[in-house]
Amino acid sequence: MADYYETLGVSRDASDDDIKKAYRKLSRKYHPDIAGPEFEDKFKEVNSAYEVLSDPDKRRMFNQGIDPNAPGGGAGTGYGAADFGDIFNMFSQGFGAGFGSPNPIPRTQPGRDSLASLSVELKTAVFGSKEKLDVRMYAVCDDCNGSGSADGSAPQTCPDCHGTGAVQRVVRSILGQMMSTDTCPRCEGHGTILPHPCPTCNGHGRVQKQRSITVSVPAGIQDGTRLRLSGQGEVGEGGGPAGDLYVDITVRPDDTFTRDGNDLHCWIRIPMTWAVLGHKTQIDTFDGEQDVTIPAGSQPDDTVSLENLGVTRLNREERGKLIVHLEVSIPQKLSNQEKKLISDFEELSKESKLDGKPQQASKPLNKAKGFFEKLRHAFS
């Protein structure tokens, strides 16, 4: 008997919330549309484990050594799991026809929701765009148009279950011989059979196809956002209505800009003379080249803000800032003439008159007061 707790990676005393969280994580990890068709069996194991552990009655049976998902009720102890499983089956389905039979399963079923991932550039998050997403999922079978029938003939009543979708069998239990109701194997619980099932889809009305979907990524979208595309999921059995497609958005890191909320940040390295005297230059942005004015007396790690060049605010036309961080390049090697010029400047500067000792404090000092200390260190 499979250990459903081990399948979901939870302890036997796990709460309902713990079981639900573990299931969501694993179902997303092993979903065939994401992990690939080779993980379909693993995905079914996870779903089977959750089906049992999320149901209080089935979980109680499993804790007693009975697998509700196994044929005949699973393995157990005492009088045998088949006895207890059949008893549970009879009670849940009404002891057969005398107490009512389960309804046949409609051939047309709604499709499941699907999950996919899409990676976009930071520029896409700034302005928004329409992105192409290739997915593989169930779609309507073109050969039978979703009917499941090769020649278009209507389904006929199943001769084994007479349209009920269920068959009865006699089983032995601790109470003696009793009647059990099971899904009809011939019609798979539909109550009807197709005289000539479509060979392409085996009568299911759907096949797996590769599809190309256009995803509208809104401007200002955050990394990790999940978009919902209504009716873009997989088609159901018998060509039933499609479920929804959920798309997880990942915003790739950019080589030039870093995002912080709706603001963009970048760093530029400037010569010492630009910082001292001021300078006007240009930088590349997502809006093309833009002028940047570096104020005279700029210090290392100072910033210059460019309005309305950041990320578009979600569902609004406003944009954040582009914040330019200044990295002042202190020359490592100076010629004698350069050293003399800076020494002369230092003599004329009020900043350098420290009576031979630097300022000292228990917290960072004003950046401007430490600038020439870096110059002094560079050519000392």
Question: What would the two tokens of residue 170 be?
Answer: 């006699």
Give the C-alpha distances (Å, rounded to integers) separating 36 from 50, 192, 225.
21, 33, 22
Q: Is 201 a known ligand-binding residue? A: yes
Query: How far apart (Å, rounded) are the C-alpha atoms in residues 119 and 224?
Result: 10
End-to-end CA distance of the chain: 78
Question: What would the two tokens of residue 275 be?
Answer: 């910082």
Question: Over the Cα atoms of the chain, what is R_g?
Answer: 35
What's the gap between Cα 332 and its chain centre?
49
User: What b-and-e string marks burial along 22-33, b requiring 16 or more CB atoms within 10 Å of the CB?
Assistant: bbeebbbebbbb
Query: How far apart (Å, rounded) are the C-alpha atoms in residues 99 and 175?
Result: 18
Write the single-letter amino acid at 154: A
How buried is residue 185: exposed, middle or buried, by Cβ count under 10 Å (0-12/13-18/19+)? exposed
Q: Is 187 a known ligand-binding residue? A: yes
**Other C-beta atoms lying within 10 Å of the C-beta of residue 251:** 20
Query: How far apart (Å, rounded) are the C-alpha atoms in residues 181 and 89?
Result: 7
Q: Is 266 a known ligand-binding residue? A: no
Matching residue, tokens 């109550």: 191
- CB under 8 Å to 156, separation ≥6 — which residues? 192, 193, 194, 195
What residues form the annotated binding site for Zn(2+)? 141, 144, 158, 161, 184, 187, 198, 201
What residues form the annotated binding site? 141, 144, 158, 161, 184, 187, 198, 201
